[in-house]
Structure 1
Amino acid sequence: MADRDFYEILGVPRTAGREEIQRAYRKLARSYHPDVNKDPGAEDRFKEVSEAYEVLSDPETRRRYDAFGRDFRQVPEGVDPAAYARARAGAGTGGRAGWARGPAGQEVRFETGEGIDFEELFGGMFRGRGGRRGRGWGPMPGADQEAELPLTVEEAHRGGRRTITLPGRGGFRTLEVTIPPGVRDGQRVRLAGQGGEGAGGAKRGDLYLIARISDHPRYRVEGRDIHVQLPLTPAEAALGATVAVETPGGEAKVKVPPGSSSGRRLRLRGQGMPNPRGDPGDLFAEVRIMVPRTLSAEERRLYEQLAGVSSVNPRSESGGRTRP
């Protein structure tokens, strides 16, 4: 696993753009996350995918990986990739000479040979720039990372605290995150200093959680507006009524005007998603007239009586009455 190419791990070409890399990571992360996949090898696969994404999602880290491969963390800044490649080739063919660029910009000649220790080679050349021998190229800040945060409509509406599990070096780490009320689908929540680990004492990158609101059997969210169906009896729709409707924030009352047909939308201002920086969204209750599947004898008699006196023809062009 340690020798696999990061592009191969994510299943993307070396020319892949940032969005393509993100899509590939999200798909694989969903498949192999330990909370979802209980296969014994899923955890290792998830770590592998996460490491590949951490490297390839950061432009500077990706540039170094493209230049030096898996050795990119050990190679000092300023080393010429072509010279480094020649040195590696020489290490396996009995030795050859090469050049690298030193800390002051000067070119430094080195000799390679079988079994060469590249950390000794480059660490000695750049010793003193960052402190430790073999790590003299200075601190490298950690890469910013992204992770999806699945939420129900109710969770997105009310916000609150949430525990998430993320991969880390040597295992997983658990974070407590605060979800702002009214978070929208696709919104990025920044957690400063919770991204990829830095090298040489440098600070961690940031973690960006991308909110993904799951489909709901009752609610449909569009921006900050919420849509919900409002079942009514024929009498409530014809005569008008005040009825209760469930919202993500609790029960609300909606006034149904007389003569409301199926499909009519009733607007409840401010009952949609909260907005910490402005006006909240609205809730739209869509009328849906429900008739009983079976009728009692009395109900049937009354419906037949109504049918006999009603002049309404819903199939006419106007949908109105056919006679005075």
Structure 2
Amino acid sequence: MASRPAPSRPAPVSRAAAPVPRQKQAFFHTTNRLMATPKDPYAILGVPRTATQAEIKKAYYGLAKKYHPDTNKDPGAKDKFAEIQSAYEILSDPEKRKQFDQFGPAAFDPSAGPGPGPGGAGGEHPFSGFGGPFSGFGFGGFGRGFGADMGFEDVFTAFTGRRGPMRGTQFMRGDDIEVQVTISFMEAAKGTTKTINIMPLVSCHTCSGSGLRPGTKRTTCRACGGTGERFVDAGPISFGSTCGSCNGTGFSVPRSSECRTCGGDGVVRERKSITVDIPAGVEDNMRLSINGEGDYPATGRAATEDVHATPGNLHVRVRVARDNTFSRQGADILYTATIPLTTAILGGEVTIPTLDGEARVRVPGGTNTGDKMTLAGMGMPKLGTRLGRHGDLRVEFRVAMPKYLSSNARALVEMLADEMGDKTAKRIMGIGKSSGDDAESHKHEGFLKSLWHNLTNHPAHQQKAEGAEESKEGSAKKDDDKQSGSGTGL
């Protein structure tokens, strides 16, 4: 078998130029560029479309370890491993992932064009000889429109985002930073300001983010020859992967040329204090975002010197501490008011706390435990609403039952049971059951009944009290007359 030449990137073919003959070769790359029907990388790795990079990496490592040909002797393990590698290369690259999400498998299927060019079945690029199948369509998002002089390699690179020696401006975005801050319940109700200390990556002040010492420049990566890819032969099949030395950029910075401050990364960590305004009404576990306060990208490792760098964002997760007085349901706050038994029976007024101080509320007579009252507009501010709208303060009453009663208090309650016709209540004071010969019992009963009549404004007791008062006044008058008469006699 003739030896296969080293993979190389073909020059773009113009419309007028004849197809460049190439030697036939079996060539499989992890992006499945010769696969007739590319599969869904999300399904291959078993992750949802909303998966984070950490979740994708975890799924990839697990599957790669399981199906690696060195450890898995199953005949289909090698193909499965290549499939996993291909899926991970797409999903681990933000640009490739974006292209798959937008175009689907067609973004990575060379046969998705209008048809193979001359010699396509013999190993030629299926778009060669057409002068660019998308001529006339100005896809400016790829840096320039697809013109007649654009060959397959340019089209394929534009759709797949294959790494290699890059031209033009490279867009880089730094990682996001997430921190947590805890505030009190009242701070959540009124709003507050917190100062957060972070250590994000910032552009190196020594090299201005280039990663180079003064007077030095980047060199072509020796490991991949500037292609950004490395290939491993496995019999008739060649597996390609991103070059680990240059991370697919095709360039490298010699150690002697690296900036001493940042080590060639172009970024350093720097302590920074950020003031965060937390709005009134914020809920527990809510996340606030501050644009541009995250990590700066490592521009020293960029694939080109023309880099458009954007810092990541700072995400502040707010935790609201529990409160001993209030609890919360959305914009409504809940409060449990404990009231005495007598207030629950007779009604009255109680003082309850609010977000703005204290308020007195009326308690209807006959209030039971679990009865509720709503004070409209006295809850939390509603986020995202105008005119300062608030939730409600919902008050739930709990009747406090006395655990101990004095003899007089128990006698009163037993008399209340008699008055209300309660036949099931236990009685131990013997009110209303004492013997006629027991003068002391009569005396005790008279006092309690008199007190009961005073509480209930009983008319009979009022008449009896008026008669007793008149009798008392008459007796006092007679005493005065006697004293006056005795004085006259003398």
Tell me if structure 1 keeps the 8 A contact 2:53–2:92: no
Structure 1 position 199, deviation (Å): 4.0
Aligned equivalent of 1:251, options 358, 363, 383:
358
The match for 1:303 is 413
Change in 2 beyond 3 A, CA 1:156/1:305:
same
State the alpha-carbon separation in 1 of the partners of residues 423 and 361 from structure 2: 28
The match for 2:315 is 208
Instruction: Give the CA RMSD over aligned residues.
Output: 4.2
Aligned length: 212
Q: Which moved more, 1:160-169 or 1:176-185?
A: 160-169
Change in 2 beyond 3 A, CA 1:234/1:204:
same
Q: Which moved more, 1:151-160 or 1:232-241?
A: 151-160
State the alpha-carbon separation in 1 of the partners of residues 356 and 327 from structure 2: 14
SS at the partner of 1:243?
strand
AA matched with 1:63: S
Structure 1 position 156, deviation (Å): 1.2
Structure 1 position 266, deviation (Å): 0.5
Aligned equivalent of 2:341, options 220, 228, 234:
234
State the alpha-carbon separation in 2 of the partners of residues 66 and 297 from structure 1: 85
Change in 2 beyond 3 A, CA 1:297/1:18:
farther
State the alpha-carbon separation in 2 of the partners of residues 23 and 262 from structure 1: 51
State the alpha-carbon separation in 1 of the partners of residues 294 and 48 from structure 2: 21
The match for 1:194 is 293
Aligned equivalent of 1:293, options 384, 397, 403:
403
SS at the partner of 1:300?
helix
SS at the partner of 2:414?
helix
Change in 2 beyond 3 A, CA 1:17/1:174:
farther
State the alpha-carbon separation in 2 of the partners of residues 158 and 239 from structure 1: 37
State the alpha-carbon separation in 1 of the partners of residues 326 and 46 from structure 2: 41
Change in 2 beyond 3 A, CA 1:141/1:311:
farther
Change in 2 beyond 3 A, CA 1:173/1:306:
farther
Correspondence 1:179 to 2:286: no
Tell me if structure 2 keeps the 8 A contact 1:157–1:249: no
The structure in which a higher percent of residues are strand is: 1
SS at the partner of 1:140?
strand
State the alpha-carbon separation in 2 of the partners of residues 165 and 314 from structure 1: 68
Change in 2 beyond 3 A, CA 1:155/1:197:
same
Tell me if structure 1 keeps the 8 A contact 2:200–2:294: no
The match for 2:173 is 141
State the alpha-carbon separation in 2 of the partners of residues 186 and 302 from structure 1: 53
Tell me if structure 2 keeps the 8 A contact 1:240–1:259: yes
Change in 2 beyond 3 A, CA 1:64/1:257:
same
State the alpha-carbon separation in 2 of the partners of residues 274 and 300 from structure 1: 48
The match for 1:92 is none
The TM-score, its normalising length taken from structure 1, stands at: 0.52
State the alpha-carbon separation in 2 of the partners of residues 285 and 259 from structure 1: 16
AA matched with 2:188: A
List gaps (5 residues or longer) in structure 2: 1-44, 56-88, 97-142, 145-149, 155-163, 202-268, 300-307, 426-490
State the alpha-carbon separation in 2 of the partners of residues 239 and 285 from structure 1: 19
Correspondence 1:281 to 2:396: no
Structure 1 position 139, deviation (Å): 4.6
Correspondence 1:48-59 to 2 at 5 A: none
Q: Deviations over 1:5-32 (max 9, x none)?
A: xxxxxxxxx75558775999xxxxxxxx
Structure 1 position 160, deviation (Å): 0.9
List gaps (5 residues or longer) in structure 1: 1-13, 25-59, 68-102, 109-121, 131-137, 316-324
Greater relative contact order (Cα 8 A, min sep 6): structure 1 or 2? 2
Q: Deviations over 1:91-143 (max 9, x none)?
A: xxxxxxxxxxxx998879xxxxxxxxxxxxx7xx458x56xxxxxxx351224
Structure 1 position 313, deviation (Å): 9.3
Q: Deviations over 1:261-298 (max 9, x none)?
A: 11111101111101362421001000100123333444
Identity %: 30
The TM-score, its normalising length taken from structure 2, stands at: 0.36
Greater Rg over alpha carbons, structure: 2
Q: Deviations over 1:174-227 (max 9, x none)?
A: 432111111134543221222232343723222233434344443221111111
SS at the partner of 1:286?
strand
AA matched with 1:292: P
